[in-house]
Amino acid sequence: MQLRYSFRMYPSAGQRMALARAFGCARVVFNDALRARETARSAGLPFIPSGELSKQLTASKKTPERAWLAEVSSVVLQQSLRDLDTAYKNFFDGLKGKRPKMGPPRFKSRKDTRPSVRFTANAGWKITTGGKLRLPKVGDVTVRWSRSLPSTPSTVTVVKDSAGRYFASFVVETEPETLPATDIVAGVDLGLTHFAILSDGTKIDSPRFLRRAEKKLRKAQQDLSRKAKGSKNRAKARVNVARAHARTADARREFHHRLSTKLIRENQAVAVEDLAVKGLARTRLAKSVHDAGWSAFTTMLEYKAAKYGRTLIRIGRFEPTSQVCSQCGVKDGPKPLNVRTWTCGACGAHLDRDINAAINVARAAGLAVSACGARVRPGLVPAQREETGTHPKPQPVTTDRQAGISVL
Ligand SMILES: [Zn+2]
């Protein structure tokens, strides 16, 4: 199976300039190719094949307007064309119903917050004997190798995040290591009042280090909103917000890693709801905040399950879990979100909304779990104050796609 490993990079001033140039050239090549295809489409001409785009790129390097493209590794530019092909493929597959629908490829902007470039084996990049990352036309960059790579990667992606940090990200082939089998299974309900609720009744909140990072982020955002537009202080405040975002994203990833590893280690099978289905039942505001975190988390569950020989089951359901009693299976209709506990009219069980949902998730996945946890127990953990009534403002969440799924 393939895993992504990410490492912080510390390029020198000159190397940062070279990387900025590479990001810029990759963007221009992507946009030129997208424009060529869009122009052809609006003129009613056939889709321009990748080989043709590649030829156009080579030709454009000989023109004075694009001669500067020669200053960066040609592999980086070719890979940028590949990215465009992938974007088109995803778009077309969405139209055909092979995957969730998504928009057509969009032009990249200089203001994009996560520029990246990819060097394949053809580019001749390597890790030097001194432990530096040698990138063509950039130089030998210092990397903090926080863990060892299980095998030699063929490709490296260099990413710059919104806080101005650089990362080298590798996709590596690894062997799965099967954990000893267990007969414990779990249904997981990803909730609004708690991060996750397990079918055994465990309620899991965000840890304090994450809540603290989120609080700092909100404060930085408030500071920014108070600064006059165009002022120097505003520029400073914006950098602070970007840093706080990066720290929050790191803290969230750390929490997701700990929890997903624990769940996969302790359970033979884990069932979660399909988030696309779950999303239908929620408000837009709450959705934007939570979905990014939830999908990053379920992605981790998925690859860790594969890595350790466990099973992850995603279930799709078309009715909210709160409508069905996990004890007797009677469906007694929707309940407003503020109803946290109720008594089943059919069997008389006193039910906790979240645990009831987690058990229903497990049952829908075909897992045999005991239903006793669904009953309300004394001394439940109260929800975090800021998580109860109001929803926090939507915050962009760094996805693992580029940041790299680090391995515990
Ligand atoms: Zn019942």
- Amino acid occupying residue 52: E
Query: What's the confidence (pLDDT) of residue 276?
Result: 58
Q: Which of 83, 214, 273, 291 is catalytic?
A: 273
The answer to whether residue 131 sits within a structural domain is yes
The answer to whether residue 305 sits within a structural domain is yes
Which helix or strand (DSSP H or E) is residue 113 part of?
A: none
- CA separation for the pair 396, 265 (Å, rounded): 30
The answer to whether residue 368 sits within a structural domain is yes
The answer to whether residue 275 sits within a structural domain is yes
For residue 208, with 0-12 CB atoms within 10 Å meaning exposed, 13-18 middle and 19 or more buried, which class applies?
Answer: exposed
Same domain, 139 and 88: yes
Q: Which of 32, 189, 352, 400 is catalytic?
A: 189
* Residue 348: domain span: 185-204+257-393
Sign of CA dihedral 344, 350, 352, 355: negative
Ligand 1 centroid to 370 CA: how many Å? 14
Active site residue 273: yes
> Can you give the pLDDT of all 408 residues of the chain as single tens digits?
778 889 999 999 999 999 999 999 999 999 999 999 999 999 999 999 999 999 999 999 999 999 999 999 999 999 999 999 999 999 999 899 887 788 899 999 988 888 999 999 989 999 999 999 999 999 999 999 988 888 889 899 999 988 889 999 998 887 878 889 988 999 998 877 788 999 998 999 888 888 899 999 999 999 999 999 889 999 899 889 988 988 888 888 889 999 999 999 999 999 998 765 455 445 544 544 555 678 889 989 998 998 899 999 988 754 556 788 888 888 888 888 788 899 988 898 899 988 888 888 888 888 877 655 444 443 333 333 333 333 333 333 333 333 333 333
Ligand 1 centroid to 325 CA: how many Å? 5
- Mark which of 150, 173, 196 sits at the end of a domain: 173
Ligand 1 centroid to 282 CA: how many Å? 24
How many domains is the chain partitioned into structurally? 2
Query: What's the confidence (pLDDT) of residue 373?
Result: 46
Name the packing angle between helices 74-95 and 13-42 (round to 10°): 40
Active site residue 354: yes
Q: What is the 8-class DSSP label of residue 327?
A: T
* Residue 340 CB coordination number (10 Å): 15
Which helix or strand (DSSP H or E) is residue 38 part of?
A: helix 13-42
Same domain, 278 and 190: yes
3-state secondary structure of 379: coil
Active site residue 214: no
Ligand 1 centroid to 205 CA: how many Å? 27
Report the candidate in 183, 181, 186 with the shortest Cα–Cα distance to residue 373.
186
Ligand 1 centroid to 330 CA: how many Å? 6
Ligand 1 centroid to 376 CA: how many Å? 13
Kind of pairing between the strands at 116-119 and 156-160: antiparallel
Q: What is the dihedral of CA 169, 172, 175, 177, to 10 degrees?
A: 0
Q: Which of 161, 352, 354, 400 is catalytic?
A: 354
Q: Are 138 and 11 in contact (CB under 8 A)?
A: yes
Same domain, 194 and 169: no
Residue 41 vs residues 45, 81, 227: alpha-carbon distances, Å? 6, 18, 45
Same domain, 153 and 194: no
Report the candidate in 262, 259, 266 with the shortest Cα–Cα distance to residue 293.
259
The answer to whether residue 400 sits within a structural domain is no
Ligand 1 centroid to 283 CA: how many Å? 27
Residue 319 vs residues 77, 357, 373: alpha-carbon distances, Å? 47, 11, 21
Residue 351 has phi, psi (to 5 degrees) of: -115, 145
Same domain, 148 and 194: no
- CA separation for the pair 352, 371 (Å, rounded): 11
